[in-house]
Structure 1
Amino acid sequence: MQPVKRHNRNARCLWLLLSLGVVLNASGANIVLEAESGTLTGTTVSTSTAGYSGTGYVTGFDNTGDSVRWNFTATNGLYALQIRFRSPFGEKGFDAILDGATSSGMFPQSSSFTTFHAGLMELTNGNHTLEIGGGWNYYEIDRALLIPTNAPAPPGAVPATLVDPQATFATLMLMRDLVADYGKITWAGQHNSSEITYLQNTTGRKPLIVSGDLIDYSPSRVAFGGMPGNYVENYIALENAGHAQSLIWHWNAPTNLLNTTEQPWWSGFYTAATTFNFATALANTNSPEYALLLRDIDAIAVQLKKFSAKNIPILWRPLHESEGGWFWWGAQGPEPFKQLWRLLYNRLTTHHNLHNLIWVLTSVDPDWYPGDDVVDVVGVDAYPSDKTDPLSGTWQALLARFEGKKLLALTEFGGMPDIEKMQRFGVWWSWFAPWTGDTYGPRASPSATVVRIYQSPATFTLDEANAVPSQFVLSTTASNGAPQFLGTGPRGSAYRVFAVTNLALPLANWSQISTGRFSGGVFTLTDSQWTNGVERYYRLRKP
């Protein structure tokens, strides 16, 4: 399968929502940058609209290159950027360029001058330049304000539970491991297993999470000759190497593909490539179109059951980037989308009895949220112009909604995210996953950056992860009838075995019953604390 070609969606990747919850108590003076005092390119100072600060504001952002720029000095530290703006003609994208690094944001519609909270910036002692302009233009700038601040605290604990009450033990354990590390370290992930070799050759390490795409199993692709081959079987094999599994599904529309030169059948997941209206299909459960929705979901269930049969949990991320509208499942607005999400959840979980799925929603717009009862993790797909952007505005906005409720993850990124910088900014994604290819994959970032991030204490890679054995067999062959384990793993690698009788207890309450190293790649263990007739759960971890 060829990686899906990405589209331009930078405008909503960064400062889409208000930056909330930042504590502004750092020492140092505010840096006030009045627009009328900046250097203007293609813009002019005006006083026509009341409510501005200073002696005026800057207008005339009409063409590419129109901007206002300030030179200023600062001391070391983090600063919260606030932009006072007016956008009377609707929401407008803008670019903010700090010392040559461009970030994009979106001003909401506002007929009066309003403050936009644009996240955090990191400044060093000395001179700096900030420029605002570009994007969609047709807005007005009153001033920029940089307020010294401290990094927000790491996120609070979230429940180590899943929305599926019948989730398998292995699926619960994956979620519990993610929860245990949340706010402490960020798991390294990667889209497309073909990138693993590059990452290992470049950094000496492998991603802990590997993401695949069930796109070619869409029935309309198969009908046109698409051949997924052994794609799923190859991804199942990755679990034997210790990788956690994530899957997306670029769902080719069930029917009504344009199949033209400009919009061929294999681009049928895009809104522009199909006339299929899923809202109409959902409105009539007796319609042929609704039956096609079920047909497609059932086809994907066949593949997901292959993972379930191997007891492999999946970070399942369907119907992603809905609010962007570029995929057909986002083309009919938020209400039909939420209905489709629930149909997918119920069909897979209840009808097909798939209980190995951790449900990951990729969405930042509250209007598109289908509900706490059908979402385990909230993800962000970000393709910023500046690959070192910490996405602090997006993080803070999501944290304000989901603190203590849901894990937050950077489910796609255009390049290698600067996880160290993100954590300095108080941004603690559960995991990150660069896209694939030369433009948006890890090779889009300098190799030195890739090495630094993969070898950083801030990042959790496969090589540092739990020692998951290739065999972990529970038997009752001991003379006293107690459970006995037989396992194989990396020769000489350390392990610890924990046990508990109540699965609801936090990991800190599990009892360690053994510790050691794989001798010759094999270990055996008998649980001497076992009591006949008492249900007991076990887990194997690397120290």
Structure 2
Amino acid sequence: MRLPRRFGGLSKRLSTPIPMFKHHTLPSLSFKWLYRLAGAALFVSTLSAVSAQAIRLEAEDGSLTGVSATTEATGYSGTGYVTGFDAADDRVSWSFQADAGLYRATIGFRTPNGEKGFSGAINGSGISGMFDDTNAFATFDLGLVNLQDGTNTAWIGGNWNYYEIDYLEFTPAEAPAGPQAVDPTPVDPDASAEVRELLAYFASVYGQNTLSGQQTRTDAASIQSRVGVYPAILAEDLIEYSPSRIEHGSDPSGLTESLIPLVDNGTILTLCWHWNAPTDLLDTTEQPWWRGFYTEATTFNFAEALADPQGEDYALMLRDIDAIAAQLQKLEDANIPVLWRPLHESEGGWFWWGAQGPDAFKELWQLLYDRLVNYHGLHNLIWVLTSEDPDWYPGDAYVDIVGVDAYPEDMTATLSSSWQAMLDRFDGRKMIALTEFGGIPDIEPMQALGVWWLYFQSWTGGQYGPDAVDDAYLAGVYQSDAVIVRSELPAGVSKDTWAGYAIDANLWVDTGDFLGNIWVGDDSDWIWDAPLQHWIWLPESQVQNDGAWAWVAGD
């Protein structure tokens, strides 16, 4: 993440755990999934607007606040366009009539001062995006929206400002189809069985449900304490293992090891790496060493380093990659697959790995892949690329999953335009995830508009983490039939062991004796499930002896 940055459902507790599957045998759809598919199809088809008429709202005919209509440029629609967006409250607003249904929304715009971010809302639901740099009038695809029968409202304004608005148009649209199935074969031909099993599971739920994810275990634990469930995916950052941070006193000792019990408990792990530049940190009052992953805090030129494989800077890059490899090796030794998401948001340019353009970035990505996979023999990695610009794509042979990072001003935004742009490029090729999100995304409205993220990962902190929403909103997302939480994951999907068997209900077990189908030794963390004929591993923190009884705490 770049900081700072401008920019309820039915109960879903399952009565029994989802059984383990092996050898890429995909689990059959649960009642929950079938219910969700049927419900979504009914909801979207009901809102189809194919019989309605297109609606074009000319900007110059709207209600103008802090802006004005003009005809200075040529090529606009109607009798003019609106300019003068230079303050947070500047906007053009409309109130209009429509037939209820599904529509594709587009904005006519011009950006004579370069690309600009915009915000707005349609019937109170936030919209946002980035207008391309264009001196001629162009269109921006907002994706699909629902309009209601009768009066509707919309506005555009604020965010980066310094753009011009020509019109807002709604065109009747067909109900969206879900994404095509994706071959879950990993890009690493020697990928571990754990990686293959996890990707097979992802492929089985893609387009049916969205897995929940949260940055930092502190925020994940907060979610569990507030709404009673734990995210399916936990995200952490290997930033402190960057050698240039350790040189300045960072001590991440034990971080990697501390993640292993969480995976033993059934959590899927994803890791990013805010890579502090290997050298050339400014280390000033304005740009201290710990901001060394930002472009503005270092003069390190990785394009020049890549051009000189025998040079000192190239060797320092390899040193850093090798330091991270040592941590990833600990996870491979524990049979843990990792959603590995390095070098994210490259095209933004705010991180040093995006400061030398797309060609240098792609070469760096391929170097990182080669060093970790072929040199270090790490085969527990699922390669996740967070980038939306086609020019920055390193190639299908180096990417398993593609992602979008989004920080909309309104966290209820459906992100339909971002999804559609990625789907147009990757449908049937790569699964698409919401790899960072500022807040907690409202997944059900997204899915109703055909936005089927494989998973979402909320960022952290009071503004962008779970603390940004109240308990009711948080429960509405995490207890939705649209969202998968940890206790609903198949056993063994986060780690190839007897670990992770989901226990949906708390239960009492007799220590040292059989009690029904469960047996627990006096000091053991293994329990035997007779119907499924296998052992279940429970971390010590989940088994607390109380006299002759042990309490097994489920999710």
Q: Secondary structure at the match of 1:522?
A: strand
Partners of 2:281 and 2:292 within 8 A in 1: yes
1:45–1:436: structure 2 CA closer, same or farther, 3 Å change rule?
Answer: closer
**1:221-370 alignment runs, 5 A limit:** 221-370=245-394
Between the aligned partners of 1:275 and 1:488, the Cα distance in structure 2 is 45
Partners of 1:487 and 1:523 within 8 A in 2: no
Partners of 2:65 and 2:92 within 8 A in 1: yes
Aligned position for 2:3: 6
1:55 to 79, 89, 111: 79
Partners of 2:487 and 2:502 within 8 A in 1: no
Between the aligned partners of 2:104 and 2:95, the Cα distance in structure 1 is 17
Q: TM-score, normalised by structure 1?
A: 0.83
CA displacement at 1:518 relative to structure 2: 5.9
Are 2:238 and 1:214 aligned?
A: yes
Q: Secondary structure at the match of 1:167?
A: coil
Partners of 2:339 and 2:381 within 8 A in 1: yes
Partners of 1:151 and 1:424 within 8 A in 2: no
One-letter code of the match for 1:30? A
Between the aligned partners of 2:89 and 2:209, the Cα distance in structure 1 is 40
CA displacement at 1:57 relative to structure 2: 2.4
Aligned position for 1:436: 460
CA displacement at 1:293 relative to structure 2: 0.2
Q: Secondary structure at the match of 1:247?
A: strand
Are 2:171 and 1:147 aligned?
A: yes
Supply the RMSD in Å over aligned alpha carbons.
Answer: 2.5
**1:117-156 alignment runs, 5 A limit:** 117-156=141-180
CA displacement at 1:310 relative to structure 2: 0.7
One-letter code of the match for 2:227? T
Between the aligned partners of 2:442 and 2:452, the Cα distance in structure 1 is 11
Greater mean deviation of Cα atoms: 24-33 or 337-346:
24-33
One-letter code of the match for 1:522? W
CA displacement at 1:261 relative to structure 2: 1.7
Q: Secondary structure at the match of 1:225?
A: coil
Q: Secondary structure at the match of 1:380?
A: strand
Between the aligned partners of 1:104 and 1:421, the Cα distance in structure 2 is 16
Aligned position for 2:208: 184
Aligned position for 2:185: 161
CA displacement at 1:302 relative to structure 2: 0.4
Between the aligned partners of 2:337 and 2:431, the Cα distance in structure 1 is 17
Are 2:95 and 1:71 aligned?
A: yes
CA displacement at 1:182 relative to structure 2: 0.3
CA displacement at 1:436 relative to structure 2: 1.1
Q: TM-score, normalised by structure 2?
A: 0.81
Partners of 1:24 and 1:147 within 8 A in 2: no
1:492–1:92: structure 2 CA closer, same or farther, 3 Å change rule?
Answer: closer
Partners of 2:268 and 2:494 within 8 A in 1: no
Partners of 2:119 and 2:409 within 8 A in 1: no
Between the aligned partners of 1:378 and 1:470, the Cα distance in structure 2 is 20
- Which protein has greater RCO, CA pairs closer than 8 Å, 6+ apart? 2
**1:496-511 alignment runs, 5 A limit:** none
Between the aligned partners of 1:380 and 1:64, the Cα distance in structure 2 is 25
Between the aligned partners of 1:333 and 1:307, the Cα distance in structure 2 is 32
One-letter code of the match for 1:356? N
Between the aligned partners of 1:239 and 1:129, the Cα distance in structure 2 is 46
1:523–1:32: structure 2 CA closer, same or farther, 3 Å change rule?
Answer: same
For structure 2, the residue ranges without an aligned partner over 5 or more in a row are 8-46, 506-515, 520-526, 535-555
Between the aligned partners of 2:99 and 2:175, the Cα distance in structure 1 is 16
After superposition, what is the alpha-carbon deviation per residue over 1:55-99, rounded to whole angstroms, capped at 9, x for unaligned? Answer: 232233344433322111334333211112233343232222334
1:95–1:371: structure 2 CA closer, same or farther, 3 Å change rule?
Answer: same
Partners of 1:316 and 1:360 within 8 A in 2: yes
CA displacement at 1:203 relative to structure 2: 1.4
Between the aligned partners of 2:144 and 2:473, the Cα distance in structure 1 is 21
Aligned residues: 477
Partners of 2:56 and 2:168 within 8 A in 1: yes
After superposition, what is the alpha-carbon deviation per residue over 1:254-286, rounded to whole angstroms, capped at 9, x for unaligned? Answer: 111111122111111111111111111111001
Partners of 2:49 and 2:102 within 8 A in 1: no
One-letter code of the match for 1:462? R
Aligned position for 2:528: 522
Between the aligned partners of 1:420 and 1:114, the Cα distance in structure 2 is 31
Partners of 1:471 and 1:487 within 8 A in 2: yes
**1:19-30 alignment runs, 5 A limit:** 26-30=50-54
Between the aligned partners of 2:469 and 2:493, the Cα distance in structure 1 is 33
Are 2:452 and 1:455 aligned?
A: no
1:136–1:491: structure 2 CA closer, same or farther, 3 Å change rule?
Answer: closer
CA displacement at 1:49 relative to structure 2: 3.5
Are 2:79 and 1:80 aligned?
A: no
Greater mean deviation of Cα atoms: 323-332 or 517-526:
517-526
Are 2:402 and 1:403 aligned?
A: no
Q: Secondary structure at the match of 2:217?
A: coil
For structure 1, the residue ranges without an aligned partner over 5 or more in a row are 11-22, 474-485, 494-516, 528-543
Q: Secondary structure at the match of 1:194?
A: helix
1:262–1:161: structure 2 CA closer, same or farther, 3 Å change rule?
Answer: same
Are 2:408 and 1:384 aligned?
A: yes
Partners of 2:229 and 2:478 within 8 A in 1: yes
Between the aligned partners of 1:189 and 1:470, the Cα distance in structure 2 is 13
Greater mean deviation of Cα atoms: 29-38 or 154-163:
29-38
One-letter code of the match for 2:180? G
Aligned position for 2:116: 92
One-letter code of the match for 1:171? V
